[in-house]
C-alpha cells in the first residue's frame, strides 16, 4: 500500500557523501540498515552529477576521478550475487531522461538513441544508464543491475534537463513502438497530463513494465521553502511502479520532495556511476537514481522469467522487497523467489493493476492458520477447565444429571 513518508536522516552532500557512502567490498548482509557505512578514507573526491544544468554551465565536464571501491548501493542490492543468476540479457530498457551517449564507458554497443537523445549535455541520463546496464568498464565492481541489457535512450527533457510533459509522452510512445520490455521514466512532473496518461496506458497494454520516479530530484540549491506533499506524474498513474530514493538506513534524505505515492525504495544517495565524457566517475542521488536501479532489477526479472506478465514482474519487485516503512528493493529475491503469479497475471489480463502492488495472499493464509490454531487452542483449554469443574460434581451425584432426584430404594 502506498504510504506518506518523510525522511528522518540527514542528507550528506558533495565530497561528504563520497566519504560516508563509499565502502570496502563486503557482503550486503554485513551492513544492517541501522548501521551507517564506514568512511572510504581520504582522497576520495568525486564530482556530483546534476539532473539539470545551472544557467552558467555549458555542459557537465568530464570527471578526472575514479571510485576506488564499490559503493554502498551495489552492496546493499547484492549485485555480485544477483549476477550469478541473471544479467538482463535480451531485455531492452527504455530510459526517458536527458539522453545517453552511446559510446560512454561501460555502455558501448548496447545503446540505441532516438532523435536528440543521442547527445547528453547534462550527463544525467548517461549516469543512470550505467546504473541500469553498465558493465563497469575497467571497474567491474561498479557494474549496473542488468549489465547485459540494452538501453533505448529517449529524451524527456530539454538539453538543460528541464522535464516536459509532451516530450515525456512522445518518449513513452516511442518506447512502446520499439517494444521495450521495461520503461523507466526518470523525471517527475507536478501535474497530470492527459496525453501522458494515455501514452502510459498504451505502454502497459502493450506489455511494458513501467517505472517512474516518485518525486523530482531535489535541486542542488533550493529556496528553503517546504513543498507540501503531492502526487507526481507519471508515477501516480495506475499500474506504474513509483520509486523513491533512500539512504543506507532506509530513510529518505532530508530535503527530498514528499509524496503519498511510493511503492518501492532503492538506493538514491552517494551512488557512483560514469558519465558521457571520459572514463571518470560521478556521485549522484535522488529518486531518478533509485528508479534506474529498480528498472535494472525489472530487466533481470524479465530475462529470468520471460513468461511473466508486467503485473507479475511488478509484483515480484514489491512482494520480495525488504519490509520496512518504505519497502526496499531486493533484486536477488525478486529473481530467485518462488511466487504464485496467478493473481498478478489475471489483473494484467484485465488491463488494470491490483489495488495494492504488494501481494498479501501468503500473509492472509498465515493469518488464517494462526486464527484457526488460536480457536482450537482456546477450545482445548475450555474443555479441560470444564472437565475439571464438572467431573467431580457429576461423581458426587453418582453420575446423575443435574436436578435429578435421589434414586428410588427397593
181-228: pLDDT as tens digits: 999 999 999 999 999 999 999 999 999 999 999 999 987 544 455 678
Q: What is the pLDDT of residue 371?
A: 43
Could you tell me the pTM of the whole model? 0.77
To which residue does cell 502526487 refer?
231
Helix (H, G, I), strand (E, B) or coil at 96: strand
Distance CA 383, CA 327 (A): 44
Share of the chain above pLDDT 70, in %: 70
Q: What is the pLDDT of residue 17?
A: 44
Q: Which three cell numbers stand for residue 224?
A: 528553503
- Residue 322 reports pLDDT greater than 80: yes
- Residue 16 reports pLDDT greater than 70: no
Question: Binning pLDDT at 50, 70 and 90, where does residue 387 land?
Answer: low
Overall average pLDDT of the 334-357 stretch: 57
Distance CA 368, CA 345 (A): 24
96-145: pLDDT as tens digits: 999 999 999 999 889 999 999 999 999 999 999 999 999 999 899 999 99
Residues 132 and 93: beta-carbon distance below 8 Å: yes
- Residue 84 reports pLDDT greater than 70: yes
Distance CA 405, CA 48 (A): 96
- The answer to whether the Cα torsion of 14, 15, 19, 22 is positive or negative is positive
Q: What is the pLDDT of residue 220?
A: 53
Q: Please, where are the H alpha helices in 305-336? A: 310-319, 331-336
Angle, CA of 206, 211 and 215, to the nearest 5°: 145
231-242: pLDDT as tens digits: 999 999 999 999
Overall average pLDDT of the 169-189 stretch: 98
Q: What is the pLDDT of residue 314?
A: 97
Q: What is the pLDDT of residue 339?
A: 83
Overall average pLDDT of the 367-390 stretch: 51
Angle, CA of 225, 228 and 230, to the nearest 5°: 140
Amino acid at each position: 500500500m502506498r504510504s506518506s513518508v518523510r525522511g528522518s536522516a540527514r542528507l550528506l552532500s558533495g565530497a561528504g557523501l563520497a566519504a560516508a557512502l563509499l565502502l570496502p567490498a563486503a557482503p550486503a548482509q554485513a551492513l544492517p540498515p541501522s548501521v551507517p557505512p564506514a568512511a572510504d578514507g581520504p582522497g576520495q573526491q568525486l564530482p556530483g552529477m546534476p539532473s539539470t544544468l545551472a544557467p552558467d554551465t555549458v555542459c557537465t565536464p568530464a570527471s578526472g576521478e575514479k571510485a576506488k571501491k564499490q559503493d554502498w548501493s551495489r552492496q546493499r542490492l547484492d549485485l555480485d550475487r544477483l549476477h550469478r543468476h541473471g544479467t538482463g540479457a535480451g531485455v531492452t530498457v527504455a530510459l526517458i531522461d536527458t539522453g545517453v551517449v552511446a559510446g560512454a564507458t561501460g555502455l558501448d554497443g548496447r545503446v540505441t538513441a532516438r532523435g536528440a537523445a543521442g547527445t547528453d549535455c547534462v550527463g544525467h541520463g548517461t549516469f543512470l544508464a550505467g546504473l541500469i546496464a553498465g558493465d563497469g568498464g575497467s571497474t567491474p565492481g561498479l557494474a549496473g543491475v542488468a549489465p547485459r541489457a540494452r538501453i533505448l535512450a529517449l529524451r524527456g527533457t530539454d538539453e538543460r534537463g528541464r522535464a516536459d510533459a509532451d516530450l515525456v509522452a512522445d518518449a513513452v510512445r516511442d518506447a512502446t513502438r520499439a517494444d521495450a520490455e521495461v520503461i523507466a521514466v526518470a523525471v517527475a512532473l507536478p501535474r497530470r497530463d492527459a496525453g501522458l496518461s494515455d501514452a502510459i496506458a498504451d505502454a502497459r497494454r502493450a506489455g511494458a513494465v513501467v517505472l517512474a520516479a516518485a518525486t523530482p530530484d531535489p535541486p542542488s540549491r533550493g529556496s528553503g521553502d517546504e513543498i507540501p506533499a503531492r502526487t507526481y506524474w507519471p508515477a501516480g498513474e495506475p499500474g506504474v511502479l513509483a520509486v523513491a530514493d533512500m539512504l543506507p538506513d532506509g530513510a529518505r534524505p532530508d530535503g527530498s520532495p514528499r509524496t503519498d505515492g511510493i511503492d518501492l525504495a532503492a538506493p538514491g544517495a552517494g551512488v557512483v556511476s560514469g558519465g558521457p565524457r571520459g572514463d571518470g566517475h560521478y556521485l549522484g542521488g535522488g529518486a531518478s537514481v533509485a528508479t534506474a536501479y529498480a528498472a535494472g532489477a525489472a530487466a533481470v526479472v524479465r530475462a529470468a522469467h520471460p513468461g511473466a506478465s508486467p503485473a507479475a514482474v511488478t509484483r515480484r519487485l514489491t512482494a520480495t522487497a525488504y519490509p520496512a516503512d518504505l519497502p526496499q528493493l531486493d533484486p536477488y529475491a525478486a529473481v530467485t523467489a518462488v511466487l504464485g503469479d496467478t493473481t498478478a497475471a489475471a489483473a494484467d489480463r484485465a488491463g488494470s493493476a491490483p489495488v495494492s502492488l504488494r501481494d498479501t495472499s501468503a500473509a492472509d493464509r498465515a493469518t488464517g492458520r494462526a486464527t484457526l490454531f488460536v480457536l482450537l487452542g482456546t477450545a482445548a483449554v475450555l474443555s479441560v477447565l470444564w472437565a475439571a469443574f464438572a467431573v467431580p460434581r457429576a461423581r458426587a451425584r453418582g453420575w446423575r444429571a443435574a436436578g435429578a432426584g435421589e434414586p428410588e430404594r427397593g
